[in-house]
Amino acid sequence: MILRSLDILPILHYSQSSQTISAIRKEQMNAKGERNGHWQLQEAKAMLSALVKAVVEEPQIITVRGEETAVLLSMEEYRKLSPKRQSIVEFFQNSPWADVELELPERLPEEMREIDL
């Protein structure tokens, strides 16, 4: 017997008594009866494999007590959103002040001091 994720919906506790399990199910599904990218935390934990597979199609939103709390992105989307990391050398080379000459005072000659070894 194959069960869909919504067939095994965990018992929910909400402060608003007007929100029923069937209303929550409808909220999580689109017109075709498919998920709209929202997962309750308990469901996300229980169905991690399905969640990871769904990320390929679109980002998945995880809710806690009905509030959107986290987003799971595909690696491709994450790389698009993440800035490329530069080395410190590249950072200074790309600086708007890279061509500015600094005027440093000349150092005074220092006398050597003797050290007993």
CATH number, domain with residue 25: 3.40.1620.10
Domain count, the chain: 1
Under the banding of pLDDT at 50, 70 and 90, the label for residue 109 is confident
- pLDDT tens digits for 40-79? 999 999 999 999 999 999 999 999 999 999 999 999 999 9
- Judge whether 57 lies within some domain: yes
27: Cβ–Cβ under 8 A, 6 or more apart, which residues?
38
- Judge whether 16 lies within some domain: yes
- Judge whether 20 lies within some domain: yes
List the structure tokens of 29: 């599904």
- Judge whether 84 lies within some domain: no
At 95 the three-state DSSP class reads coil
- Judge whether 35 lies within some domain: yes
- Judge whether 93 lies within some domain: no
Domain interval for residue 19: 5-77
- pTM score over 0.95: no
